[in-house]
Amino acid sequence: MQDPPPLARLCARRWAVPILADLEGSKGCKFVTLAAHLDGSRAALKASLGLLETLGLVIPNPGHGHPMRPEYVLTQRGALLTGPAKSLVRALDKTQALEFGLRKWSMPMVHVIHSGQERFGGIAEALGPVTDRAVSLALTDLQDNGWVKRKLFNDRPPRSIYSVARKAQRFAPMLTDLGLALE
């Protein structure tokens, strides 16, 4: 089985993109500050920071000294992602879709469909190790929220084609920027 694309790896944890957005323009931060600003559970934020460390985007501050020093700092690679991450979080918040948009498969699926994968099998394959059930649930969720359109063809066998709806097209350039910065 193939590895998931970089954007799907980044979106595997709900708070990963908001953490990167929060770190834009900073020299790092303390965990307590992140927890207070993002209002996420300690466990979820720790897991997201762990993912960001694994991806090489943040590191624990290697320095010693003052108790107010940041606990987490961006790597050079991580700093490249803060701008696109902040743009995405702002756009999701502005459209009141932050909670929905930061679900595990929402953004990667919009990106994959916008990139040309229209059929269920192609979408699942492009996302890497994802179950058919997860793809089906995410596509249904995206359709219910008006982000993806499904066109059903009454062929034998029946087939469906998915496309990004107008409501979600504004996020495509931000997802492309985020995906490119990850590579």
Q: What is the pTM of this model?
A: 0.88
Q: What is the pLDDT of residue 111?
A: 93
Query: What does the block give as tokens for 106?
Result: 């929402």
Q: Residue 30: pLDDT above 90?
A: no
Write b or e for each residue in 109-137: b if 16 or more Cβ atoms lie within 10 A of its Cβ, otherwise e: bbbbbbeebeebeebbebbeebeeeebee
Over residues 122-134, the pLDDT tens digits come to: 999 999 888 999 9
Mean of pLDDT values over 38-50: 91
φ and ψ of 90, to 5 deg = -60, -45
CATH classification (class only), 6-182: mainly alpha
User: Domain ranges in the chain?
Assistant: 6-182
Higher pLDDT, 65 or 82: 82
pLDDT in tens, 137-158: 999 999 999 999 999 988 888 8
State the pLDDT at residue 64. Answer: 67
Confidence label for 94 from pLDDT (cuts 50, 70 and 90): very high
Residue 38: other Cβ atoms inside 10 A: 17
Cβ atoms of 9 and 81 within 8 Å: the answer is no
Q: What is the pLDDT, as a whole number, of residue 63?
A: 66
The structure tokens listed for 52 are: 């960001």
The rounded distance, in Å, linking the Cα atoms of 114 and 7 is: 13
String of DSSP letters for 98-116: HHHHTSTTHHHHHHHHHTT
